[in-house]
A and B are shown apart, each in its own frame.
Chain A
Amino acid sequence: MTRHGAEVRLEGLGKSYGPVRAVKPLDLVIEGGTLVTLLGPSGCGKTTLLRMIAGLEQASEGRILIGGRDVTLLSAGERNVSMVFQSYALFPHMSVLENVAYGLVSSGIARRAAERTAEGALETVGLAGFGARLPSELSGGQQQRVAVARALVLEPDVLLFDEPLSNLDARLRRAMREEIRALQQRLGLTVIYVTHDQAEAMAVSDKVVVMLNAGIAQIGTPHALYTQPDNVFVATFMGEANHVRAEIEALEGDAARVRLGETVLHLPHRGLTPGPVDLMIRPEAIRIAAEGALPATVARATYMGAHTEYVFTTPVGELFATDRPGGSPGEAVRLALDPVGTVLVRP
């Protein structure tokens, strides 16, 4: 069953409802066999984009190519894509096996053969022997797996997930996302995955497309997005970050000399020019250290077990940090900033 999923190519794809732009025209290439996440706050257009790829919404402009074939004008059933819905959308009046075989029967395969194939798909997701049950007789996680099996059994070029884990509890969510990732890698599927949960996106994706205001904010691997965000939104959306104003005084080779209050830092300049700049500091990049450059006072310290969460008052504003237990409220300390978690961002 191992094969490589098709490449998905969006060319100037956009959607508007009258004067309202749901998705601004955008270009995007999703390589075959990879898992790409569309991540963003609600209303950013990520679900509309997914539904356009699925064929459930008609694009207002642009083209969609799947495996090199132009599918822009094809209906959902003709595109060879499958979708796993947020609510799973399992047909409540059909048994699990009938649900999984539904797409095969729709495609014109004889019922007997379709059900045999469907049993195989149920086995793939670890639900062998559950075929005779009704969806309502399964747990949430099992229903999720049926939905995946129902989509998989059609061997689609592209598999789409619309916030598939949002109806599960936290523990199950973690297990299911690992299962989905393992399945995708084992079968070499092309998967497009919509979520608003940043941790989920980081855990499953080859690449993440961060969306904001109906457009793409940044595309990259989870690592690249976390360590090299292009703007303040991406930095704060991909995990916690302190946002402070700084100024680039001069460029020195690959590095920039940055003035942060009274302190001077040397950081990769990332193509920025001298002048005001935004500085993003990850909480784990702030350490209490005697040789630290930044004077600070501990405002609050919250003991969390493995680490302690601090809020420091500094000349450049309040900073949120996670560090080993140590400082106590009111204490004057000095802070060192780890260059890996301290990034310059275009203002």
Chain B
Amino acid sequence: MSLARAPGLPAWLLAALAATLLPWHMQQDGVAGLFALRAEEADAASALGQAWFHGRFWFWPVLAALALALPGALARRSVFLLAGGGLGLLAIVAQGFAIGIQGWSWPFLEAWFGPLEERQFGMGLGGALCFLGCLLLVTDGLALRGFFKGDRFVAGAVGVLAASILIFTAWPVGTMLLQMFTPREELSGLTALGVRLFDGKIWGLGCVTGRVHCGVFWNTLVLAVSTASAATLLGLCFALLVTRSGFPAKRALRLLTVLPIITPPFVIGLGLILIFGRSGVVNQFVQSAFGLELGRWIYGFNGVWLAQVFSFTPTAFLVLIGVVEGISPAMEEASQTLRASRMRTFRAVSLPLMRPGLANAWLVVFVESLADFGNPIVLGGSFGVLSTEIFFAVVGAQQDFGRAAALAAIMLLVALAAFLIQRAVVGGRSYVAMTGKGDAGLPTPLPAPVRRLAYAVALPWALLTILVYGMALAGGFVRVWGRDWTPTLSHFTRAFALEWSASGQIIFVGGAWNSLFTTVTLAAIAAPITAGLGLLAAWLLTRQRFAGRTALEFALMLTFAVPGTVIGVAYILTYNLPPLEITGTAMILVACFVFRNLPVGVRSGVAAMSQLDKSLDEAAITLRASTFRTLRTVVLPLLKPAIVTALVYAFVRAMTTVSAVIFLVSAEYEMATVFIINRVINGDYGLAIAYCAVLILLMLAAIGLINLLVGRRQLGRREGART
């Protein structure tokens, strides 16, 4: 009961203990020396210790703010909570930015306070927990003031969510955009910006008139438009076949939808190289049969386009299945009873009803193509797109972060535009799954010409997809593709060899083990965080009404639209300096996974939540349950399927992502996808393919395992009881 009288106390204790006992800065040796009030070195001490024993005066404001919050924490005094917590946040952020690794961060501070001998590194456990404590003090204060219906849990949840979006998306993207203004050589900020933004390498149109390459912007745009169009058309054919025809292998076709989820993004590219590359099967055959050199046509626009269409057709298919199934059969039956032929029904009723869905699928693929990094890097050759140009600007010889930032800004702008159009097309909340009302009636079979067309387009493409995947996997079992066809397991042993030491311990000698372990561990850490934050956000958005809900929703949706490459560049630019110096650590990778994949958690959460009768929550509330108890005992158990989905997707996507993490990996924390890409760039296809195969198997196993552990038992009970 004491908590009811002093609701701010836990948050205050958290902040105060973090400031007095825990080391404020990031420690090199992990969690050792947790009790850090009095430490030998200033950098290993807590805030209080640094201020008291080491004369670091800039921590006094933080401590003073905490002292100010104490009356609020002991009695229900919201003013003290708000003032203390708010000033605490301000003081933490201000000291973090003001004093960096070279003393004062800005010259005017030195002019005011005099020179500073000391410096400080990135924030650590103490700083982070103190920040969290202050944040919760503020939300508690707001709740006491009657905001969020006086619900402290909701207030805290909103606060944590908003703060994490701010810290892990808004701040990095903002930092990156500012980077465009950094002066270059003799140019001032604005001129440098102009030079970077209106570079001929980006906007050049030389390819229209002569034989010069066009700018990367046009490359990207043309590629995205043609990929989106082709993939949407193919996806529609597949969707129509599966839902509206007597096609016998429907289930097999539906398996296609799983492929893009479990496929590392460059498997398709590898498969294409093994078929159409210089030493590919087709080229070899044509040369031996007709003596023709097919050459390198696969490298460049053609290859990237082909690979992207292969990669993203399943995505379009997935979207369009929902669209086609969503058309009420009653509409088509009505049309037929009004004496329309099947063809007229299809043309005049079905197709117009699908139009928003088609536009949505097109835009989804457009954005995927825009953000795609794996296929262009493998097959692009000299054909550059925005994502690869950004990569080369960062890792290449010139190391031009300003140029990378400008390119990323352009990419961000296009992605945001596509995203806003998509929202307008789909209407309102684009990630809300449509809840299909059970309409009576049977879907009308396709008119014969359309059916024949769909078969003619879809079936060869399906066969080709199988062929590409087959080739990609077969490549792991021959010595050197195209030259030495001897079957071998040597690629697997090079990657995954095990040896036993004399003492009987296993030694992981294979070159891939390190990156594999890192990937699995980090993905496993990120998955529950992603799912938890995503579901929490979904719950807040669908079930709670509070001031700023729309703003939070919009901010969340915007983060969905930021392409991975942009996030990658933004993260290294932001987090390689204090106050949050996490470049090169596992934390930056986990943060990247979490905030890249948050949409998945939110989407599945919102979809599941809208299926859940709202009066269930309300019943629990009227039955005296607290908000948290309602969430724990009623909402979460009923959301089990959504939790499983979110977990699986978050895990698998963390394992297959490449666009963002390629900037963030370090020697210590190497990711599987980056390891593979480096092998591909070195031409070591065998090892890359072997690794891909292992990854795919591993992910299938993970999906099965998570389903088994978390899902089935509970699901089975509910389904069984439903009858």
Contacts and interface: CB of A to CB of B under 8 A. Distances in A.
Interface of A: 54-56, 58, 73, 75-77, 81-83, 85-87, 89-93, 102-103, 106-107, 134, 136-137, 150-151, 154
B721 A77 contact: no
A54 B625 contact: no
A73 B626 CA distance: 16
Contact of B621 (A58, A77, A91, A92): A77
Contacts of B718: 92-93
B3 interface: no
A83 B619 contact: yes
Contacts of B623: 77, 82, 102-103, 106, 150, 154
List of 3 A-B pairs having minimum Cβ-Cβ separation, nearest first: A103-B623, A89-B619, A89-B615
A76 B621 CA distance: 6
A58 B544 CA distance: 12
Contacts of B616: 89, 91
A258 to B, nearest CB: 49
B625 A102 contact: yes
29 contacts: A56-B618, A56-B621, A56-B622, A58-B149, A75-B621, A76-B618, A76-B622, A77-B623, A82-B623, A83-B618, A83-B619, A85-B615, A85-B618, A87-B615, A89-B615, A89-B618, A89-B619, A90-B619, A91-B634, A93-B714, A93-B718, A103-B624, A106-B629, A134-B721, A136-B723, A137-B721, A150-B619, A154-B623, A154-B624
Nearest to A147: B619
B269 to A, nearest CB: 46
A103 B623 CA distance: 4
A251 to B, nearest CB: 52
B625 A87 contact: no
Contacts of A106: 620, 623-626, 629
A146 to B, nearest CB: 12
Main secondary structure of the interface of B (DSSP, over half): helix
Interface in B488-537: none
Contacts of B615: 85-87, 89
B637 interface: yes
B349 interface: no
Nearest to B614: A89
B199 to A, nearest CB: 49
Nearest to B618: A56
A287 B667 CA distance: 99
Nearest to A83: B622
Contacts of B638: 91-93
A102 B621 CA distance: 11
A85 B620 CA distance: 11
Interface string B589-617: 00000000000000000000000010110
Contacts of B625: 77, 102-103, 106
A54 B622 contact: yes
B721 A136 contact: yes
Contacts of B714: 93
B151 interface: yes
Given A75-B149, A137-B721, A55 B622 contact: yes
Nearest to B619: A89
B714 to A, nearest CB: 8
Contacts of A83: 618-619, 622
A204 B633 CA distance: 35
Most chain A beta-carbon neighbours within 10 Å: one of B618, B622, B722: B622
Interface string B124-167: 00000000000000000000001001110000000000000000
A345 to B, nearest CB: 38
A89 B613 contact: yes
A251 B225 CA distance: 84
A160 B616 CA distance: 15
B151 A75 contact: yes
Contact of B722 (A77, A81, A136, A154): A136
Nearest to B629: A106
B618 A107 contact: no
Contacts of A92: 638, 718, 721
Contacts of A55: 621-622
Given A77-B625, A83-B619, A91-B633, 12 more contacts: A54-B622, A76-B622, A77-B623, A77-B624, A87-B613, A92-B721, A93-B717, A93-B718, A103-B625, A106-B624, A106-B625, A151-B622
Interface string B393-410: 000000000000000000
B155 to A, nearest CB: 13
Interface string B352-396: 000000000000000000000000000000000000000000000
Contacts of B721: 92, 134, 136-137
B713 to A, nearest CB: 12
Contact of B622 (A81, A134, A136): A81
Interface in B426-473: none
A131 B622 CA distance: 21
Contacts of A87: 613, 615
Contacts of A86: 615
B619 A75 contact: no
A82 B619 CA distance: 9
A254 to B, nearest CB: 49
A189 B398 CA distance: 81
Interface string B307-331: 0000000000000000000000000
B620 A102 contact: yes
Contacts of B723: 136
A42 B532 CA distance: 39
A118 to B, nearest CB: 12
A98 to B, nearest CB: 9
Contacts of A89: 613, 615-616, 618-619
Contacts of B633: 91, 102
B619 A85 contact: yes
Most chain B beta-carbon neighbours within 10 Å: one of A55, A73, A106, A151: A106
Given A87-B613, A106-B629, A93 B637 contact: yes
A110 to B, nearest CB: 15
Contacts of A154: 623-624
B92 to A, nearest CB: 32
Contacts of A56: 618, 621-622
Contacts of A102: 620, 623, 625, 633
Contacts of A134: 721
Nearest to A160: B622
Contacts of B624: 77, 103, 106-107, 154
Interface string B35-76: 000000000000000000000000000000000000000000
Contacts of B150: 73, 75
Contacts of B618: 54, 56, 76, 83, 85, 89
A103 to B, nearest CB: 3
A87 B613 CA distance: 8
Contacts of B149: 58, 75
Contacts of B620: 91, 102, 106
Contacts of B717: 93
Interface in B239-277: none
A134 B717 CA distance: 10
B222 to A, nearest CB: 46
Nearest to A153: B623
Interface in B653-702: none
A18 to B, nearest CB: 12
A89 B620 CA distance: 9
A188 B514 CA distance: 72
A75 B613 CA distance: 21
B613 A77 contact: no
Contacts of A151: 622
A85 B617 CA distance: 11
Contacts of A85: 615, 618-619
